[in-house]
Amino acid sequence: MNLNSTIKSIQDIMRKDDGVDGDAQRLGQLTWMLFLKVFDQREEEWEDDNAKYKSPLPERFRWRNWAAYKADAEGKKKPQIAASDLISFVNNELFPALKEKIDASVSPQHKVVKSVFEDANNYMKSGPQMLAVIEKLEDAINFHDFKTRASLGDVYEQMLNDLRGAGNAGEFYTPRAITAFMVDRINPRLGKRETVMDPACGTGGFLAAAIDHFRNQLATMKSPRPEDKRAIEELIHGIEKKQLPHLLCTTNMLLHGIDVPSQIEHKNTLGIGWNEWSAHDKVDCVITNPPFGGYEDDGVGSDYPADLRTRETADMFMALIIKKLLKENGRAAVVLPDGFLFGDGIKGTLKKLLLRDCNLHTIIRLPKGVFAPYTTIKTNLLFFTKGATVDDGTEHFHTDTIWFYEHPYPQGYKSYSKTKPIRLEEFRPEQEWWGDEANDFADRVETEFAWKVDFKAKREQAEILAQPHWQRAEDLNNQAAEIEAEASNLRKSLIGTTDATYREKIDAQIAALRAQAEPLRLQARDTQAAGDRLYWPIFNLDIKNPNAPEAESHDPDLLLEKYKKLLGEIEETENQLKNELAAALAHHFVAEVAE
């Protein structure tokens, strides 16, 4: 039985267990068992390389000492723990030990095991069913075998793909075509030791793609050094808030040859204080699909700058990427929904920050269904580079031109689905069109799918139109401030005064001054708003493709409206013809009478 069939048969076994409910729990159950199995075989290799190696797992709880089948006197392989005792052992001995008896500070291996199991669960209730799963893993998974090791990553990826239909767990998975394309375009370079981070790493799809990208570079090096291979592990960084995807990601890294995936942290990125981030935390490349549509708990992000304060997760991640995570000249690729492109308020402020501090050079507009069945929301891939800091007292925007590319469905497709997912080869036209950021993408051309927006010209024009309103608002506020200052000084003059007549006179003057200031403030507010209405629409990035042929709609209401419009045009044409004909005939009759 091949590896793929084995995994499917294991999932079938779990479906018979009353304790395992749904794909997400099945995957979580299988993954912690797979983790212990693969980790044990990696330990065998580490023991061969280092006689002093000491496992972070208590000896009794290593896979080899409780799960692995052992040969008896007759050479037959048998379980070490009877089916009737297995569930009790796992729940009452194994899990308490892995959760409570491992000190994460001892070594990176200790940290990995501790973080994987601190919130993990055993869902299985049937000893015989769990034993059957163990037997399948024992027969099929030999991580020492290079062929098995190579194919296990692909099989695991397919398992993660199943998350797309597993309710809310679908948020943790990004289709492989998307992760591979985004990493390919960001192009982190192993030779330059460029660091890659996913601050919401989910199951580790982007990090796995980055590892593959680095390994492909390693294969093309003329004389790769051992430190080049070791560097890959140090260049990958991920943070994941939730237990299941963290477990899945850690195992994913293990299967991708990351010996000790201690750089996959189990914590809430957004829960880290704004000022706790330092220059040391900044990376060369951020590639991520932050959860959108969700909200953080009260208090999370409360120390963000006031104009960036929000509880919406995707917006918080964008603020963090721009201000805290990217190095100067660092590159980022982020998946975001249409709502970010057209949103205002905090989203508008974030887009201004993005276009000011970074060069947002490319937006790939994806069609519906890329993340189906988890969500059908239309999404976009934003590619940007952090600009150098300019501190001369003026506002500099690093974005001048924004290129858009509308990714079409393959021929014959009307949507994507779990059985018909988006494929990497579909992005070949984008890859061929892409060009080079070093020459500001001078070789790009507009096509049926690609167009550009001169953001610099739009911004400068909007500023010219808005500036008189803003200046007028400033003048009005200054006038109001002078009047309010006069009222304040009068109020101070009353300190220590007991003369009732004098106090009454001054109070009347203060009231009169306030009556003068208030309408000035209201007028200033309205004038400022008038300027803002001319300026802020430039940050609406939900720009439709001007080069696309007009789509044929089959919506009955639209067709009826179109038909009515056509009838009106026909009637108008008929009336014009009648008028012209009547005029011609009248001219003819007039001519005849004249003769």
Nearest Cα residue to 198 out of 118, 263, 116, 104: 263
Amino acid at 235: L
Contact (CB, 8 A) for 139 and 131: no
pLDDT at 589: 55
- Give a three-class secondary structure readout of 333-372: EEEEEHHHHHCCCHHHHHHHHHHHHEEEEEEEECCCCCCC
Residue 301 Ramachandran class (φ > 0 left, ψ -120 to 50 alpha, else beta)? left
Amino acid at 246: H
| CA atoms of 333 and 287, how far apart (whole Å) | 5
92 Cβ contact partners less than 8 Å away, ≥ 6 residues apart? none
* Helix orientation angle between 205-220 and 176-186, rounded to the nearest 10 degrees: 50
Give the DSSP H or E segment for 484.
helix 455-493
pLDDT at 169: 44
| CA atoms of 250 and 198, how far apart (whole Å) | 13
Contact (CB, 8 A) for 65 and 59: yes
Long-range contacts from 49-56, C-beta under 8 angstroms, 24+ separation: 55/109, 56/102, 56/106, 56/107, 56/109, 56/110, 56/112, 56/113, 56/114
pLDDT at 49: 86
| β-pairing verdict for 450-454 and 326-337 | unpaired
pLDDT at 203: 84
Q: Which fold has domain 1-144?
A: Ferritin (1.20.1260)
Q: What is the gyration radius of the CA atoms in the chain, in angstroms?
A: 33
| β-pairing verdict for 379-386 and 326-337 | antiparallel
Contact (CB, 8 A) for 546 and 451: yes
Q: If you ran DSSP here, which 8-state letter would residue 437 be given?
A: G
| CA atoms of 15 and 400, how far apart (whole Å) | 55
Two structure tokens written together for 271: 């829960």
Give the DSSP H or E segment for 523.
helix 500-535
Contact (CB, 8 A) for 304 and 346: no
Two structure tokens written together for 27: 């995957």
Distance of CA 143 to the CA centre of its chain: 32
Residues in the chain where the model's pLDDT stays below 50: 167, 169-170
**Could you tell me how many residues make up the chain?**
595
Q: What angle do CA 146, 148, 151 make, to 5 degrees?
A: 105
